[in-house]
Amino acid sequence: MKPDLKNILNHLQSFYILSIKAPLGMFSRPFYLRETIEQMDYAGAGSFLIVILVSLFIGMALSLQTSVELAALGLKMYTGKIVGVSIIREIGPVAIALSYAGRVGSGMASELGSMVLGHQVDILRVFGVDPVKKLVTPRVLSSIIMLPALTLVGDAVSLLGGYYIAVFVSHQSGPLYWSQIKDIMDFNNIFSGLSKPFLFGYLISCISCYMGLSTTGGARGLRKATTTAVVLSTILIIITDFALTRILIFILGMKV
């Protein structure tokens, strides 16, 4: 076995162990409630403005482009339905997750990496404290809670942005737009849109924390760990979104 391949397998093994230990730490003492609340504030409240801005312009851009294309076919009245399904099922969860990875995921990796380089993690081990339970579990829990909440906010803002474009730019009927949004708010669409952020939050936090705790080599190593955390999170979000969409279509019995 080549050394590079062996190194990759060792990293994968360590990552799987961390990704299993971190959620299991939620069910055993000590619970580190204060750390969890701090991480929820950083991940949720700290990302609120970014989520609103990103979601607003995504909804406006999607509504504008959809209106232009449908107008050529004489189907502009279906803008609300297409925008609603696109945002709730796919664009909303993915866009918010990517923004979350860029802000919160990179912050997790850099913070834990700085603690590793400053030997704070080693000090925790000396005092008999499990670093995964104290440092990783609160971050995983906060991501699982806050990313779905941010996705709900982002979806609502995107739909409002789409409404503005549809009514005040494309001169469509406002009640018709909202009636179409109401029509697509069924179990399949809502479940598909809200199930993804839980998995995205888990993946982003586990990847970011692992890269942070694996930091070596000073400032250059910290930069590499932070960059790798964001890149891997972005790639896995896109891949997982496709895989989860395919699974949900099969489970919910939707036609392709």
Residue 87's pLDDT is 95
150 within 8 A of 44, measured Cβ to Cβ? yes
Grouping H, G, I as helix, E, B as strand and the rest as coil, residue 238 is: helix
DSSP string for 142-207 = HHHHHHHHHHHHHHHHHHHHHHHIIIIIS---HHHHHHHHHHT-SHHHHHHHHHHHHHHHHHHHHH
Residue 153's pLDDT is 96
Grouping H, G, I as helix, E, B as strand and the rest as coil, residue 30 is: coil
Q: Which two tokens stand for residue 43?
A: 């991940």
Residue 1's pLDDT is 42
Q: Which residues of the chain are modeled with pLDDT < 50?
A: 1-2
